[in-house]
Amino acid sequence: MAKATLDDATRRKITDLNDSYIRAIDDDRLEEWPVLFTEKCLYRITTRENYARGFEMPLMEGISRGMLIDRVTGYRRVNIYEPHRYTHMVSGLAVEKIDGNRVTCRQNYLVIRTMINGEMTVFSAGIYYDKILLGADGAMFEERIVVQESCRVDTLLVIPL
C-alpha cells in the first residue's frame, strides 16, 4: 500500500542503492556492503514469527557500520562454513513515507543459495523494511530490517541476506 510517490531522481537513488547492495553480496565483494549503511544504523535479520510478535531478538544484527564490518571479518577470516553464494531477486518497491530526505519503504526479496556441489535452494524469502537517507549524490541505508518469512534457517546463516 504505497502512500507516497517518488520523483524519478529519488527512485533512481533508491534503485542504485539496492543494486549496489545486491552486487556487493552476490559478487562476493562483501567489503563494499557496510559502506552502504550510515555510521550509526540498524541492520537486523529476523523471522516473521519473531517480528509479528514484537520480539527484537535478531538472528543477525548490527547497530553500527563497525558491527557490519565485523560480520564481514567473521565471514572472511573467522567463521567456518561450506563455500556458497547467493543470488538475490528484489522487487515490489512500495514507499510508505517520505519525510524530507528520509524514505521509508519496503521490497520483497528472494535469495537462492548455490553450494559448490551444485545444489541450489530457495534459502530465504521475505521483506526488506528500509529507512533510506537521501543525499545529493546518492542514498544510504539508515535501517534495513530483513524479515524472513520462514521461521527456519537451513544449516547456517553467515552471509547477510
Binding site for other proteins (CB under 8 A): 45, 47, 49-50, 55-67, 69-70, 73-74, 77-82, 151-158
Q: Which is nearer to other proteins, 70 or 142 (CB)?
A: 70
In terms of Cα–Cα distance, which of 41, 106, 102, 105 is closest to 68? 41
CA–CA distances in Å: residue 87 to residues 25, 61, 72, 128, 142: 9, 21, 18, 16, 24
Q: Which is nearer to other proteins, 10 or 129 (CB)?
A: 129
Q: How far is the CB of 57 from other proteins (least distance, A)?
A: 3
- What is the SS3 assignment for 150? coil
Q: How far is the CB of 34 from other proteins (least distance, A)?
A: 9
Q: Which is nearer to other proteins, 8 or 56 (CB)?
A: 56
What are the grid coordinates assigned to 48, written together? 516473521
Q: How far is the CB of 30 from other proteins (least distance, A)?
A: 14
Q: How far is the CB of 3 from other proteins (least distance, A)?
A: 30
Q: Which is nearer to other proteins, 5 or 117 (CB)?
A: 117
CB contact set of 59 (below 8 Å; sequence gap of 6+)? 45, 46, 47, 148, 153, 157
Q: How many residues does the chain have?
A: 161
